[in-house]
């Protein structure tokens, strides 16, 4: 069974590195997490302060220690600038072998292939290191860019979960998207 032991490993890509976030990252993550364009489909209110961003980073790091989530900062290798985050919001190994991914990226970095590179590393880590059989993503149906990204990796939109999550005073529908291990390896071949 997979154990991360509370450590958030550094994963190296061609242009980016996935790594543990720390206090020094709170200010830049606040810029992203307070941007209404970036947070539009995150189903959380835009952050109001750097302190709030630091509390989220601390919470995410704590969830990694208890092996309840695994969130990486996405860093440009060239200048060590943090441009977003991604990871596993939750996973279940016993019997199900599935995990749910989530991701965000600063607006100025959209459309440059960084999230594709991050997702490639995240999927490899999920299947090869964690031993997952199924990786899921819950996506707001209006989020066309995220849907397009997942489809490019072979994710199947399995169905609409009606009023699945509460946001503010209402509820939103979410699409269940999933990629099976066998589909991942078939696409890699």
HEC letters along 19-63: ECCCHHHHHHHHHHHCCHHHHCCCCCCCCCCHHHHHHHHHHHHHH
pLDDT band of residue 144 (cuts 50, 70, 90) is: very high
Q: What is the pLDDT of residues 27-56, one digit of tens each?
A: 999 999 999 999 999 878 889 999 999 999
Collapsing DSSP to helix, strand or coil, 9 comes out as coil
Q: What is the pLDDT of residues 122-133, one digit of tens each?
A: 999 999 999 999
Q: How far is CA 99 from the centre of its chain?
A: 11
Q: Is 188 exposed, middle or buried (0-12, 13-18, 19+ CB in 10 A)?
A: exposed
CB of 108 closer than 8 Å to CB of 40 = no
Q: Is 16 exposed, middle or buried (0-12, 13-18, 19+ CB in 10 A)?
A: buried
Handedness of CA 26, 53, 61, 45 (dihedral sign): negative
pLDDT band of residue 4 (cuts 50, 70, 90) is: low
pLDDT of residue 61: 93
Structure tokens at 26: 């709170």
Give the list of residues 6+ apart from residue 82 with CB closer than 8 angstroms, or none: 21, 25, 28, 29, 73, 74, 75
**Bridge-based pairing state of the strands 11-12 and 82-92:** unpaired
pLDDT of residue 29: 97
Residue 167 has pLDDT above 90, yes or no: no
Question: How far, in Å, CA of 53 to CA of 30, rounded?
Answer: 5
Question: How far, in Å, CA of 82 to CA of 125, rounded?
Answer: 20
């Amino acid at each position: 069974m997979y154990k991360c032991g509370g450590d958030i490993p550094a994963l190296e890509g061609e242009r980016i590195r996935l790594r543990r976030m720390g206090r020094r990252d709170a200010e830049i993550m606040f810029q992203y997490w307070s941007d209404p364009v970036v947070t539009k489909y995150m189903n959380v209110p835009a952050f109001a302060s750097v302190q709030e961003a630091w509390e989220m980073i601390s919470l995410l790091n704590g969830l990694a220690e208890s092996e309840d989530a695994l969130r990486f900062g996405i860093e440009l290798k060239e200048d060590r600038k943090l441009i977003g985050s991604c990871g596993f919001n939750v996973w279940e190994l016993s019997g199900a072998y599935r995990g749910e991914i989530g991701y965000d990226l600063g607006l100025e970095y959209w459309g440059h292939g960084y999230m594709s590179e991050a997702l490639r590393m995240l999927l490899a880590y999920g299947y090869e290191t964690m031993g997952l059989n199924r990786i899921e993503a819950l996506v707001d149906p209006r989020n066309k860019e995220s849907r397009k990204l997942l489809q490019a990796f072979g994710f199947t939109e399995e169905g609409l979960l009606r009023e699945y999550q509460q946001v503010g005073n209402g509820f939103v529908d979410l699409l269940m998207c999933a990629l099976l291990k066998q589909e991942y390896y078939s696409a890699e071949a």
